[in-house]
Structure 1
């Protein structure tokens, strides 16, 4: 799995202009089953997204298609981890149980 820390790199007005396109892109990631959770970081600094297990290359390609990335309005820090403990609702994502 991946935790993606998105940090805005443009003025808030420019970010706000692209947010509807970004939200449409985000909805598409949920529709395709790529993301588990997402939300805005405090003080409008950016967002946090949690992605399901996939290849790093696939995740990088998904993030590169984000309208915020295409406009160079965001920086993405990706943290990869193996989910070995989960709440019951996320049991299907528990990589230790999948073995």
Structure 2
């Protein structure tokens, strides 16, 4: 499992024009079962995505994000192995 942390590299007014395309990208990977949770950072400096897959497929996925293509955000990818989860989230445990 992976935590993908996005940090904006430009002011929010430069992020907004790419938001719809970014959300279409997010939705596409939810539909494929790769993304399992996501949301904005507080304060709004980027976002976080919880994803499944292997590192190569996650890196390829990130390369498709319009935020990446337009240099809007930088990405930090952390791989971890969930060994415990709260009730109702047991399917996250590997």
Q: Same fold (TM over 0.5)?
A: yes
Q: Secondary structure at the match of 1:42?
A: coil
Structure 1 unmatched runs, 5+: none
In the other structure, the counterpart of 1:75 is 74
In the other structure, the counterpart of 1:56 is 55
TM superposition shift of 1:55:
1.1
In the other structure, the counterpart of 1:32 is 32
TM superposition shift of 1:37:
0.4
Report the TM-score, using the length of structure 1 for normalisation: 0.90
In the other structure, the counterpart of 1:88 is 87
The total of aligned residue pairs comes to: 94
TM superposition shift of 1:87:
1.9
TM superposition shift of 1:83:
0.5
* CA displacement 1:18-65 (0-9 Å, x = unmatched): 00110111011100000110000012100011002x110000000110
